[in-house]
Chains A and B, each alone.
Chain A
């Protein structure tokens, strides 16, 4: 069952480098779907592939398939701005996202695949008195919860990020919260690393295979899935379909409190290393960092309306660019190379749902809104636990579907006044 995986090492990279990069084998198989699996994950992004990896590596669940309607990592995993941080206000959120940051810290070693996790620091700017109060509250709450976060004066922020304009700006920088353990990672590598490691443990990664239905037994429990490549029997289905979670879950009659919005991002032409960290401004809404390739990676806000088109209005991305040019005047003459949108599934409280559902054997990991990438390892880890044991891990226990009915919201929306 175990496929052969060529381990990466400095020596193997050097040898292939000297021999013209010949002799690399495919990093994962491309199997035909089998008639039955012990568990099926719907969605081959980082979250789904990660869940399959942890199911195989930590829960020894037997045969596992990941079904992806397109190609792996081609959805939001390949469309985000790769920001990683865990400075969320509420204890439940801080525990979940910090679980993820801790897994990020060892992920390249765990997977034997360089995910290029770089803890270059995430600086979140405050531009108003209200921002200052909210940011400082976050700093204190984080420190009480054991998550690193510190308050910087405008001068200290400028020292940490020299391109930052703290002088003549429409919304002056009054201070900033800095999480030094935050940073970025290589988004494709996360999908590929999990895919390669999961495949080596026998997981079947099946691309170009859209789920078209969820079959149920007479007692209501999951019997399998219908796909564009034929029916597959299974007793456990984990849905990790991001913006399309509502669509997939409706196949089993499960209605979710989700709305799917486009979220846009852009990259500039590549330039020399000029930008040392990640800077976010919730108030004037722009995120920026520099990739290792040299492109500035810029995140904009969500469009106003729900859609599945993976694009949005140009006025949304221009707004983000205006904010970036104001904060970093040296980028004013930089050209943008590409812009695109991803479809993000937003919950009413802007916190995710990682939980069992009313359908026995059906599990869902959704509602990550605009901030799912950072949570990839942590969410995948606790989602695998939930699927394998049919009960939540203590970390995702508060993130139920029933919290909306029972009034136990984890209201990060109110905490930050923007989507995450």
Chain B
């Protein structure tokens, strides 16, 4: 079970949270002019990073807020958690893919 540092509430056990997948996926614009491949990438393609992975979590059974986390998917160690408005912190070089 992961211990997750909610940026608003502090460290809480994983069952309080819901995982929201890869973070920082912006809907491409303008929608009407996108190619099928651009839509496919937006809807289905994910980095599936081996290493520092930026991802969304929601503290569902707590403050209810969304936030982002940087987690090393080779160790499950959280490198950082940060608010949605913040850019992802730079991962330490050795944990990058």
| Chain A residues proximal to chain B, CB less than 8 Å | 244, 246-247, 255-260, 304-309, 311, 313-315, 345, 348, 404-406
* Residue pair B48, A404 in contact (C-beta under 8 Å): no
**Chain A residues with CB under 8 A of B43:** 348, 404
Residue in A closest to B15 when the chains form the complex, CB atoms: A315
- B46 proximal to A (CB < 8 A): yes
* Residue pair B74, A314 in contact (C-beta under 8 Å): no
Q: Given contacts A305-B19, A308-B74, are A255 and B45 in contact (CB under 8 A)?
A: yes
* Residue pair A348, B44 in contact (C-beta under 8 Å): yes
Q: List 20 A-B contacts (CB under 8 A).
A: A246-B48, A246-B50, A255-B41, A256-B48, A257-B44, A257-B45, A259-B46, A259-B48, A260-B73, A305-B19, A305-B55, A306-B48, A306-B53, A306-B73, A309-B74, A309-B75, A309-B76, A311-B76, A315-B1, A405-B40
- B96 proximal to A (CB < 8 A): no
Q: Given contacts A259-B46, A309-B73, A309-B74, are A304 and B19 in contact (CB under 8 A)?
A: yes
* Residue pair A258, B48 in contact (C-beta under 8 Å): yes
Residue in A closest to B13 when the chains form the complex, CB atoms: A315
- B18 proximal to A (CB < 8 A): yes
**Chain B residues with CB under 8 A of A308:** 50, 73-74
- Docked Cα-Cα span, A348 to B36, in Å, equals 16
List B5-59 residues whose CB lies under 8 Å from chain A. 14-15, 18-19, 21, 36-37, 39-41, 43-46, 48, 50, 53, 55
- Docked Cα-Cα span, A276 to B87, in Å, equals 55
- B2 proximal to A (CB < 8 A): yes
Q: Given contacts A246-B48, A307-B73, A404-B44, are A315 and B14 in contact (CB under 8 A)?
A: yes
**Chain B residues with CB under 8 A of A311:** 76
* Residue pair A247, B50 in contact (C-beta under 8 Å): yes
**Chain B residues with CB under 8 A of A314:** 1
* Residue pair B46, A304 in contact (C-beta under 8 Å): no
Q: Given A306-B48, A306-B73, A309-B73, 15 more contacts at CB 8 Å?
A: A246-B48, A255-B45, A256-B45, A257-B40, A257-B45, A257-B46, A258-B46, A259-B21, A306-B55, A307-B76, A308-B73, A309-B76, A313-B14, A315-B14, A405-B39
Interface residues on B, range: 20 to 34
Residue in B closest to A404 when the chains form the complex, CB atoms: B44
Chain B CB within 10 Å — which of A305, A313, A405 has the most?
A305
Residue in A closest to B69 when the chains form the complex, CB atoms: A305
The 5 A-B pairs with the shortest beta carbon distances in the complex, nearest first, are: A257-B44, A304-B19, A246-B48, A313-B1, A405-B40
* Residue pair A313, B2 in contact (C-beta under 8 Å): yes
- Docked Cα-Cα span, A306 to B73, in Å, equals 7
- Docked Cα-Cα span, A400 to B2, in Å, equals 36
Residue in B closest to A319 when the chains form the complex, CB atoms: B15
- Give min CB distance, A245 to chain B, whole Å: 9
**Chain A residues with CB under 8 A of B50:** 244, 246-247, 308
- Give min CB distance, A200 to chain B, whole Å: 35
- Give min CB distance, B96 to chain A, whole Å: 13
- Give min CB distance, B77 to chain A, whole Å: 10
Residue in A closest to B39 when the chains form the complex, CB atoms: A405
- Docked Cα-Cα span, A225 to B75, in Å, equals 27
**Chain B residues with CB under 8 A of A260:** 48, 73
Chain A CB within 10 Å — which of B14, B45, B50 has the most?
B50
- Docked Cα-Cα span, A255 to B42, in Å, equals 12
Chain B CB within 10 Å — which of A306, A313, A404 has the most?
A306
